[in-house]
Structure 1
C-alpha cells in the first residue's frame, strides 16, 4: 500500500482545518473542566461524537462493517488514538503545566517519523523530513515560550506520560493506515473508532469519576461538550482518517505543529489576546519546518541538471 508523500492543496487545507478544530478544543475543555472531572469530559466527548456519527451514517444509508477483523482494528485504534493518550495526558497535566505538556506533545511528529520509518515501506526518513520536524518542534517551543521549559526535569513521571501519549499517537497514525487496505471509508472508520473508544471509556469513567454523583452541568458546559464532541471529535476524526488515507501517517502528525498556532490565533481573534514576538517567530519556524517536510519549496531553490551543467561549463 502506497500513500501520497507530498501533500497537495486539498490535504494541506484539510490539515489546517483539523488543527483549528483540535486547537478550538482547548476553549471547550476550559469551560467544561470547571464543572466536570477530566475522564467524564473525555467519556462524554467520545460518546456524543459517536452518537452524532452513527446518526449521520444512518441518514446517509450507510452501515458499519460487521467483519470481526475490522472491529478488532477499531478497538485497537480506539486504544492507541484515544484511551491511552487521553488518560496519559489527563494524568500528566495534573502535575505539569499545560504549556510544557503542549511542547512534549509536539514531539508526536518526531515519533511518527521514526515509527513510520520502522514499520512502513513507503514513509522512510529523509533528510528534509527529519530537519523539518526538528525545526517545527523548536518553533513550537519558542511560540509557547521558553519559560514553559522551566519545569523540565520536575515530575519526570508526568512528563514521560505525555511523551508516552505522543508515542501512542504516532503508533495510531501508522496503525490506522490498515483501514484503507480493508476498504473502510474515512467516515465509517471515524465512526467505528469513536464507537469503540466509547465502549472502552464508559466503564473507566464510571468507575473513577462516578458521574451520577456529580451536580448537573450548566447550559454553558453542555454547549462546550457539544462543541468538543461534534466539531473537535466527530468532524475532526472524519478529516483525520481522510488525510491519513491520502497523505500518510507522517504528514498527518504535522497537525501537532499547527494546533498551537490555531489556539494562539483563535485566542487573539476571539479573546482579544495579543500576539507576542515569540509567537510570530515560532510560527515562522513552524512554517519553515513544514515547507522542508513538504519538499516542494526546497525544489524551487535546487538547480536543475541543465542549469548545473551550464554553470560548470558543460556542453548541453
Structure 2
C-alpha cells in the first residue's frame, strides 16, 4: 500500500515534467519566429547553441560531471551537432522567416516518422506493425495535406520553407539514431558537447555572413533568443534527461505528440496566427501519426510506469 501511494506522487511529478518539456519545445517555434524577425537565422542559432551549451556546462559542473577529453568522442559530438542542431535549427530558423510558428511546429514534429524509416534502412531493429504503418500513413498524409496545397499553387517561398522544415525533421531522425551510440556517457555530456561544437561551427559563419556587430535586433527578438536558449534548450535538456531516468526513453517520447498541439496553440495565442482548414486536418493527421509511432504498447506502458517506484 505504501509503495502504491509513493508511486502516485512520483508519477504525478513525471507527468508534470513531461507536460513542461512538451510546452518548452512547443514554444520554441514561437521563440524562433520572434527571434528571426530582426536576427538572421545563423546568428540566432549560433547564440542559442553557445548560451545553452555554456549553461549545461555550469549544470554539469554543479553535478560533478566532466566532459570526455578524447578526440574520438569529440568527433562524434561534432557529427551529432551537425545532425541535431547546426543544420536542422538553422533550417528551421530560415524556414520560419516565411512560415507561421504553428505550421512549422506541425511539419517539424514528424521526426519520429522519419526515424522509423531510417531505422528500417540503417539499423533494421524496427518492425512494421499495423499501428506503426497507420502512424506512417497518417503522418505522411498530414505532410502532403499541408505541403501539397502549396505545391499546387506553384514553387513559392512558402513551399520552399515547408520543404526545408521537413528536411530539418529528417535531420532530427538521423540524430536520434546516431545518438544511440553515446551509451556509457551521462546524457548531458553529448548534449553539452554537441551544443558547444555547434557554436564553434556557427559563430565563425555568423561573423563572416551576418556581421552581428552591425545588427540592431529588437528587444522582442533578444528576449525570444534568451528564452529559446535558456528555457527551450538548456532547461528542456535537463528535464529531458530527468525523464529518461524516470519515465524511460519510451515514455519520454510522449512529448513528441504533446508538443504539436501545444506549439500550434502558443502561436495562435501569442502571435495571432491561424491555420487553414487543410492545415487543421494535416495537424490531426500528424498528431495521430506521431502518437501511433511513439505511444508504447500496454506492456511497455506498465513497464515504464513501474520505473517510478
Relative to the length of structure 2, the TM-score reads 0.73
* Cα deviation, residue 13, structure 1: 6.3
* Cα deviation, residue 176, structure 1: 0.5
2:193 matched residue in structure 1: 192
Tell me, yes or no, if structure 1 residue 247 matches structure 2 residue 243. Answer: no
2:215 matched residue in structure 1: 214
2:261 matched residue in structure 1: 261
Q: What is the aligned length?
A: 283
1:118 matched residue in structure 2: 121
Spell out the pairing of 1:12-161 with structure 2 (5 A cutoff). 16-93=19-96, 101-120=104-123, 122-136=125-139, 138=141, 149-152=148-151, 154-155=155-156, 160-161=163-164
The 3 A distance-change label for structure 1 pair 190 and 242 is farther
The 2-side partners of 1:172 and 1:24 are apart by 21
CA contact (8 A) 1:112 1:170 kept: yes
Gaps of 5+ in 1: 1-7, 300-316
* Cα deviation, residue 174, structure 1: 0.2
The 3 A distance-change label for structure 1 pair 26 and 48 is same
The 2-side partners of 1:264 and 1:33 are apart by 18
The 3 A distance-change label for structure 1 pair 45 and 185 is same
> Which one has a larger percent helix, Structure 1 or Structure 2?
2
1:305 matched residue in structure 2: none
- Secondary structure at 2:64's aligned position in 1? coil
1:231 matched residue in structure 2: 231
- Secondary structure at 1:204's aligned position in 2? helix
- Secondary structure at 1:111's aligned position in 2? helix
**1:246-266: CA deviations, max 9, x gaps?**
426x984x7554433112333
CA contact (8 A) 2:33 2:96 kept: no
2:304 matched residue in structure 1: none
The 3 A distance-change label for structure 1 pair 61 and 167 is same
The 3 A distance-change label for structure 1 pair 283 and 29 is closer
1:303 matched residue in structure 2: none
The 2-side partners of 1:167 and 1:186 are apart by 22
Spell out the pairing of 1:301-316 with structure 2 (5 A cutoff). none
Report the aligned-residue RMSD.
3.9
2:180 matched residue in structure 1: 177
CA contact (8 A) 2:106 2:260 kept: no
Gaps of 5+ in 2: 1-10, 301-309
CA contact (8 A) 2:99 2:161 kept: yes
The farther-off stretch of 89-98 and 159-168 is 89-98
Q: Which has the larger radius of gyration?
A: 1
The 3 A distance-change label for structure 1 pair 225 and 94 is closer
